[in-house]
Amino acid sequence: MDILFHVSTAAGGRLLYPLLLAAGRADCRVGAFFTHEGVLGLRDTDLAAALTQAERAVACEESWHRFCPGLPCPVEAGSQTSNSALMGEARKVVSL
């Protein structure tokens, strides 16, 4: 994967959406990992739709249950081990 977007802030989702669109136009292979308050961005349906083009989109399962209890997670649920694996696969990491 060319770029892994690591989203850990509540505002990260708003920043990620246009970056995903730009990466798509540049034909970059991208992934995303959401943790802590970053999972809140996944409630945005436009962002969730854009993530379908990502190689992989993972939310920290513990963070999802903490910040979005009772809601279905729109991406793969994972752990910090998933985060480490994604970072190992990425050529570049952008932290939001």
Q: What is the pTM of this model?
A: 0.95
Please list the pLDDT of the chain residue by residue as tens digits (96 residues).
999 999 999 999 999 999 999 999 999 999 999 999 999 999 999 999 999 999 999 999 999 999 999 999 999 999 999 999 999 999 999 999
Q: What are the residue ranges spanned by the domains of the chain? A: 3-95
What is 3-95's CATH topology?
Hypothetical Protein Ychn; Chain: A, (3.40.1260)
The continuous run of DSSP H or E covering 33 comes out as strand 30-34
Specify the pLDDT at position 3: 98
> Given this model, what pLDDT does residue 13 score?
92
What is the structure's pLDDT at 9?
A: 97
CB 33 within 8 A of CB 95: no
Taking the CA atoms of 84, 86, 90 and 93 in sequence, report the sign of the dihedral they define. negative
Residue 38 to residues 55, 88, 93: CA-CA distances in angstroms? Answer: 19, 20, 15
Say what the pLDDT of residue 43 is. Answer: 95
What confidence score (pLDDT) does residue 66 get?
98
